[in-house]
Structure 1
Amino acid sequence: MAAQRGTEPGAGAPEVVSGVGVRGGDAPTAAPSTDPAARPRTRWMIPHGLDVAAGLAWRVVLVAAAGATVIYVAGTLSVVLVPVVLALIAASLLAPEAHVMSSRVRWLPHAVATAIVIIAGLAVVGGVFTGVVYAFISGLPQLTSQLTNSFTEIQAWVRTGPLGLNNQQFTQIGDQFLTSLQESQATIAASALGAVGTVGELFTEGLLALFTLIFLIHDGGAIWRFLLKAVPRTVRGRADVAGRRAFASLVGYTRAIIVVAFIDAVTAGIGLWLIGVPLAVPLAALIFFGAFVPTLGAVVSGAVAALVALVSGGITDALLVVLLLLAVQNLEGYILQPLFLGKSIKLHPLAVVLPIACGLVVAGIPGALLAVPLVTVLDTGIRSLTRPGDADVDPASVNPLDPRSARPEFADPTINVGAPDP
């Protein structure tokens, strides 16, 4: 009977269904798979948030390490890098003029046009510096006498003012000052020797910048085509367009900042002369050069002008100078910069101040001077690389010597492709 029951269907006899062993009355159970990917994970899984944070962390560390490496290399080669960058900025100002001269005057070789614009540029810069130094030397005696009078007034105030120092105490303070000055003579001498070394270094960097400027103006197009060979052929055309637009933005920025700085200097110089501040011409020149460092340069040059006015004419002249410089800054911020710089660059004020601060920390005054032009070039170049429309633009239609080429809507098919362009 048992054997008979065991053979009856549905009597609980074991069956094999599709390779799955089951017992009678039980649900089918899958056999263990031999595929490792199909096995259930027995180890704990990393939380998704931690996985994303770790991925972002190592990428940020990698980018920061790359940036630190670039900054370190740039700082190590700053003696060479700074003159080259200055020559590039000067080329953005002089190369269009050389190109115009050699293209409109057919009999004039491009080498001669290069020599003419470089000599003219050096003459203008040398004349400006000569005039500033002459005005400073001629106004120095007047400023010295005013400083002496101011020191005498300070002495009288120290004796008769709230401090109430008598002659013996005042003499003792003066002796201590002279003693400390004599003790620092060695430091002053060492600083003088360092200044002589700095002058020699500046002279060497100036020669390097001049040498680089000559070849950037004369062979700028050939140099750029040589650099493009390092770019993969599939994206070479797009990189060419981005580089041309970036240099065009540098041309527009250099022209605009010079015009804005000149108007600021002339306006401030006339105002200082009307107020009666001595050394009005050197102070105007300082305001001119300070305009090349947005925001920070205006503060420094304005503080120097207000200090000279305070020493020479008292608190009234100092307040008048402060009001004058505030008016000049409003004229620059609301009229001149939108009129000239607005067509060349479109940067947020925070994107101007932060690079200047970083450049000042990393490379000092040269870093502050070169921060905004560098950001301008990078902004235009990166925008061109990421803009979909520039992928189909013919590089020959983008003139790097024309500031309009920095805008994506500009393309001139009539450009002479064989013209020497940086």
Structure 2
Amino acid sequence: MPRPVDVGSRVPTALRVAAAISWRLLAVGAALYVIGVVVGSLAALVVPVAVALLLAALLAPAVAYLVGRGVPSGLATAVVMVGGLAGLGGVLTFVIVTFTNGVPALQSQVAASINKIVSWLTTGPLHLSVGQLHGLSDGLFASLNANRVSITATALSTAATIGQTLTEILLVLFTLIFFLHDGAGIWRFLIRIVPDHERSRVDLAGRRSLAALVSYVRATATVAVVDAVAVGLGVAILGVPLAIPLAALVFLGAFIPIIGAVLAGGVAVLIALVAHGPIQALIVLGIVIGVMQLESHVLQPLLLGRAVKLHPLAVVLAIAAGLLTAGIAGAVLAVPLLAVLNSGIRSLLSRTDEQVHPGDVDPGDPEESGPDEPGLDTEAD
């Protein structure tokens, strides 16, 4: 009888390796797709929990400080929650009141700017007639009337969104209370699913990830404050209206790395253009560019670079992916998620961490964001 032919031995090694890698990539891709579908369907639950985790990373050191001074855990959590909510409410109230008081002046300046634009259109190089301008305005109003139904439907959906947002805010607060009060107990419960012989390494990786998240939130808040103060002082000195709300907008935008502060600065440039003309707008643009250069070349390398150790390209791609998949919430949460995964994976792959006890890692210490080893650490030079 003829000897059976071993077909596998005749397949080129490169093809066998490519096939093995391909089916593994397909399995990983399918798992990620299923996870994405599940997370997307539970976005109203996942996003508030993620926001609560970010806030817990910011507030947990304060709770730990009070507990270390002998304050009971429940009382420390209540003090930090009440103080944080009072501070946030005071800032929001101040911004809203300032914005409301500045709107009338901005309206008058917008009206004057519109008159200048109309004058330029009629007497400038375009030489448009008054009748043509009226035709443009009539066409705009006709378009608004034609789409009145869709605009009304959008307003109603916005009202429904406001109700959902209030519900999610309550969920954030409720989850935050338990994260601050018993975050360690929740983590110990979660890692029970890990086998005993691997539990210590997973525990350590989780603590490394939490340390990276705490460092990220602290560094981002510091960068946001510097950006907001610099832009706010610049527009206030130039006399641009709504300087304080613009500074608050820059502060909030800075929590979306790279693009958030740029978009907020663009709003400041637009308001300066409408209120004072192109010269002032160019000056504000220069201020925004200067602040962005300070952020990218000084603040981020010193603060965010040590906190997350991510290459700028990875940050940009993560923000783009988050924005495409989950909108603004995805853009805000993409970089901290990437930082957490980066620190946790580096810890699991690190030989140094095999000798480290999980209790030796202090989540509140920014130096404890993970071992400085090659691999996933792609911090730019």
Whether these two folds match at TM > 0.5 is yes
- Distance in 2 of aligned mates of 1:326 and 1:145: 28
Deviation at 1:264, TM superposition (A): 1.0
2:375 maps to which residue?
none
Match of residue 214, structure 1, among 149, 174, 177: 177
Residues 175-209 of structure 1: CA deviation (Å, up to 9, x unaligned): 12111112222222111111111110010001011
Structure 1 residue 260, shift from structure 2 partner = 1.1
SS at match of 2:308: coil
TM-score (norm 2): 0.94
Partner of 1:379: 342
Match status 1:175 vs 2:157? no
Aligned residue runs from structure 1 range 245-324, under 5 A: 245-324=208-287
CA distance in 2, matches of 1:400, 1:335: 25
Secondary structure, counterpart of 1:340 in structure 2: helix
Q: What are the equivalent positions in structure 2 for 1:303-382 lying under 5 Å apart? A: 303-382=266-345
Correspondence for 2:65: 100
Q: Amino acid of the residue matched to residue 116 of structure 1?
A: V
Deviation at 1:56, TM superposition (A): 2.2
- Among 11, 21, 24, the residue aligned to 1:59: 24
Deviation at 1:239, TM superposition (A): 0.4
Q: Which structure 1 segments of 5+ residues have no match? A: 1-31, 410-422
Question: 1:164 & 1:86 partners in 2: Cα distance?
Answer: 54
Deviation of the 1:55 alpha carbon: 2.2
Q: CA deviation at 1:43?
A: 6.0
Read off the aligned partner of 2:123 and give its amino acid letter. Answer: T
Alignment match, 1:12 = none
Instruction: Give distance in 2, aligned partners of 1:133 and 1:53.
Output: 59
Q: Does 1:238 align with 2:225?
A: no
Corresponding residue of 2:189: 226
Cα distance in 1 for partners of 2:92, 2:132 equals 45
Shift of 1:252: 1.1
Distance 1:343 1:42 in 2: 54
Amino acid at match of 1:96: P
Match of 1:41 in 2: 5
Residue of structure 2 in register with 1:82 after alignment: 47
Higher relative helix content: 2
Give distance in 2, aligned partners of 1:343 and 1:48: 42
Q: Over aligned residue pairs, what C-alpha RMSD do you find?
A: 1.6
Alignment match, 1:389:
352
Q: Which amino acid in structure 2 is aligned with residue 165 of structure 1?
A: L
**Between the two proteins, what is the percent identity of the paired residues?**
49
Q: Is the CA contact (8 Å cut-off) linking 2:347 and 2:370 kept in structure 1?
A: no
Matched residue SS, 1:53: helix
Show the counterpart of 1:415. Answer: none
Q: Distance in 1 between matches of 2:12 and 2:299?
A: 55
Greater Cα offset, 184-193 or 211-220: 184-193
* CA drift at 1:42: 7.7
Tell me the amino acid that sits aligned with residue 42 of structure 2. L
How many residue pairs get aligned? The number is: 371
Give the aligned residue type for 1:280. Answer: A
What is the one-letter code of the residue matched to 2:87? V
| Offset at residue 338 of structure 1 (A) | 2.5
